[in-house]
Amino acid sequence: MIATEVDLIMFMRIDHIGIACHDLEEKIALFTELFDLTVVAREVNEEQGVKEAMLHIADGAGGGSYIQLLEPLSADSPVGKFLAKRGEGVHHVAFGVPDVGQAMEQVGSKGVRLLDERPRHGSMGSSIAFLHPKDVGGMLTELVQAADR
Ligand code: V0V
Ligand code: CO
């Protein structure tokens, strides 16, 4: 789906909540046991400095909703620094959008700092981009365009 210039940025759903953790396998065991969730994808994303797993919650407009568990690949990666500073917990909230480039342009034009100049590779073949938490009420925000399904 291609948004036109007159369309406002459209959040179709919460795509995922990203949770920072020290030990991915331990937290996968916790979340699957507590909430009866299923791991549907795992990936090492070198560019983002993470080893991650997606636990499926539900399907919605243009894609699913997930919990994303994130273990840092190094101490100086975004998630590594977050763990050192704040400890384990909610790291970011990701919203599903129809067109990530368009969403970046629209939100960028409102003065929000984009942490990516162009969309990056995200989980399950998605295209992603991050917004600075200081410009979004303290919430690290991710825009996600799901892969064609
Ligand atoms: C930092 N801050 C946060 C935050 N991380 N606030 C809310 N949530 C977070 N996760 C605050 C921090 O406390 C500082 O505030 C301020 O922002 C600047 O932080 P910093 O520690 O000085 O800076 P850095 O170097 O830690 O950078 C923070 C940012 C960085 C957000 C710029 O983490 C980043 O570029 N993140 C985007 C990429 C990313 O997070 N990738 C991992 C997920 P005070 O203390 O000055 O008040 S990968 C992913 O989700 C994938 C692959 C996927 O979904 O498919
Ligand atoms: Co994410």
Over residues 124-134, the pLDDT tens digits come to: 999 999 999 99
Over residues 59-109, the pLDDT tens digits come to: 987 889 999 999 999 999 999 999 999 999 999 999 999 999 999 999 999
The confidence score (pLDDT) of residue 2 equals 55
Q: Within 10 A of 50 (CB to CB), how many other CB atoms are there?
A: 25
Does ligand 1 have an atom closer than 6 angstroms to the CB of 140?
Answer: yes
This prediction has a pTM of 0.95
Does ligand 1 have an atom closer than 6 angstroms to the CB of 130?
Answer: yes
| Mean pLDDT over the full length of the chain | 94
Question: Which residue of 81, 118, 123, 136 sits with most ligand 1 atoms within 8 Å of its CB, as the best mutation to test the pocket?
Answer: 81
Q: Write out the two tokens for 56.
A: 């499926």
Mean pLDDT of 108-117: 96
- Going by CA atoms, what residue is nearest to atom 10 of ligand 1? 91
Q: Within 10 A of 23 (CB to CB), how many other CB atoms are there?
A: 12
Bridge partners of residue 58, in order along the sequence? 65
Percent of the chain with pLDDT over 70: 93
CA atoms within a 13 Å half-sphere pointing along the CA-CB vector of 102 = 16
Look-up of token digits 């995200």: 122
- Atom from ligand 1 closest to the CA of residue 124: 55
DSSP assigned state of 125: G
Does ligand 1 have an atom closer than 6 angstroms to the CB of 79?
Answer: yes
What's the 12 CA to ligand 1 centre distance in angstroms? 23
Q: Is the pLDDT of residue 112 over 60?
A: yes
